[in-house]
Amino acid sequence: AGGGGAGPSIGDLIAMSPTLSRQLRELQADGWTIVDGPAGGGSSTNRSTKTITIDSAHRANPTDYVRSLSHEAGHAVQANDYTPMAGHTRDEYVTANRDHQLDGEGRATLNNARVRGEIQDAGGPDIGISGTRTNEYQRIADQADAGTITDEQAAHQIGQQIGQHETTSTTHENYNDYYSHFYENRWDTHHPPAGGGP
């Protein structure tokens, strides 16, 4: 198929990926919903409301939509690792939770790469991989698929790349700084400076 014209729909692309089809069935059975968010507002996953929000600007481009959906579904199906404050220093707490978040980004990106491969294997278009280092993420995903590294090793390697090289759509910080600042602020809110106050 050349440029232009009607290509596969969002539903067609999802059906080409056994992984994404299964994940969406499981998430729906668990009470999750997928909604369109504001155009240009980015895509996200909210565990507390069991909602995946996809940037509505992607609605007109099925490959962009399914790329974002495969990434967010990768977040939704994974455990939410968290290291509590108790028993840890501020630096330990911040580093552990930043790394949990980056590993989560790595798992979501690995999911995106696998869905991409399944769709291409089924004769569909290339949905791409979210982020700026597609080739590097695909190289790591290929190593996991070949069994030379585990999925967790792949997720960690991808997450470290994301932390250093990708920036958030909201604050434009790299993800290392973004997650570090988030957990520093959370720690500081629960540990106000000692003394001085009335």
Domain residues of the chain, as ranges?
10-190
* pLDDT on residue 2: 42
Q: What is the pLDDT of residue 193?
A: 80
φ and ψ at residue 35, rounded to 5 degrees: -130, 155
Nearest to 25 by CA among 77, 80, 78, 62: 77
Enumerate helices (H) and strands (E) in the chain, giving the number of each.
Answer: 7, 3
Alpha helices in the chain (DSSP H): 10-15, 18-29, 62-76, 90-121, 134-146, 151-165, 175-190
pTM above 0.75, yes or no: yes
Name the token pair of 79.
Answer: 């455990």
pLDDT at 138: 97
Block mean pLDDT (10 aa), the chain, length 198:
67 98 98 96 93 96 98 93 95 97 97 98 97 96 98 97 91 94 97 67
Local structure of 9: helix, strand or coil: coil
Are the C-beta atoms of residues 98 and 104 closer than 8 Å to each other? no
**3-class DSSP assignment, residue 83:** coil
pLDDT given at position 115:
98
